[in-house]
């Protein structure tokens, strides 16, 4: 056990967060995201049973968002014609505001297939048990 580390952060995830450098990206993926196929060239961490926002909150206690880019947080845009609501995005923005004074201004939406392409280049993908649709979020690491 370590002091100050949220208990939801596994040793494997802590190691990955530590290894990441400035501008590396990590995806917190919902339960429908194809984490294993998208993560063939990166590290995939299983966090089944945990929600995406609780992991976001825990990660942001340790992880600075990049201040050298306008939008260090990316969400997967809802596909045109989909009538899905995304209330989890408001939860994400509230969580981000706790750790970064820019708050919702850090967030951008990326078209679904472009999100997939960027996810393939991420340092790591965290596969969660999140049931909300379009709950995928990508973070770009900053400096301390």
Residue 9 lies in a domain: no
Strand partners, 73: 107, 139
Cα 111 to Cα 30, 78, 89: the distances in Å are: 16, 8, 15
Residue 13 lies in a domain: no
Residue 15 lies in a domain: no
Task: Please give the structure tokens belonging to residue 10.
Answer: 């596994």
Q: How many domains does the chain have?
A: 1
Domain holding 31, by residue range, is 22-140
| CATH code at position 100 | 3.40.1650.10
Question: Are 110 and 139 spatial neighbours (Cβ–Cβ below 8 Å)?
Answer: no
Residue 88 lies in a domain: yes
Give the three-class secondary structure for 40: coil
The DSSP H or E segment spanning 88 is: helix 87-99
> For 93-117, what is each residue's pLDDT tens digit?
999 999 999 999 999 999 999 999 9
Degrees, nearest 5: CA angle 67-5-37: 70
Distance, CA of 82 to CA of 86 (rounded, Å): 11
Distance, CA of 44 to CA of 38 (rounded, Å): 9
Position 2 scores a pLDDT of: 82
Residue 6 lies in a domain: no
Residue 22: active-site member: yes
pLDDT band at 125 (very low <50, low <70, confident <90, very high): very high
Instruction: Using DSSP bridges, classify how beta strands 124-128 and 107-110 pair: parallel, antiparallel or unpaired.
Output: unpaired
Residue length of the chain: 144
> In the predicted model, is pLDDT for residue 83 greater than 80?
yes
Residue 10 lies in a domain: no
Distance, CA of 24 to CA of 79 (rounded, Å): 26
What mean pLDDT, rounded, does the chain reach? Answer: 96
Residue 16 lies in a domain: no
The catalytic residue among 12, 19, 22, 131 is: 22
Residue 36 lies in a domain: yes
């Amino acid at each position: 056990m370590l002091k100050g580390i949220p208990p939801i952060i596994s040793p494997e995830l802590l190691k990955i967060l530590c290894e990441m450098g400035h501008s590396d990206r990590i995806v917190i993926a919902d339960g429908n995201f194809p984490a294993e196929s998208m993560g063939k060239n990166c590290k995939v961490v299983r966090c089944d049973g945990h929600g995406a926002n609780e992991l976001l909150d825990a990660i942001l206690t340790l992880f600075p968002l990049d201040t050298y880019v306008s939008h260090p947080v990316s969400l997967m845009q809802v596909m045109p014609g989909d009538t899905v609501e995304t209330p989890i995005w408001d939860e994400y923005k509230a969580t981000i505001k706790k750790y970064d004074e820019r708050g919702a201004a850090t967030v951008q939406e990326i078209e679904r297939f472009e999100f997939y392409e960027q996810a393939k280049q991420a340092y790591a993908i965290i596969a969660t048990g999140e049931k909300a649709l379009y709950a995928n979020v990508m973070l770009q690491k900053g400096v301390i």
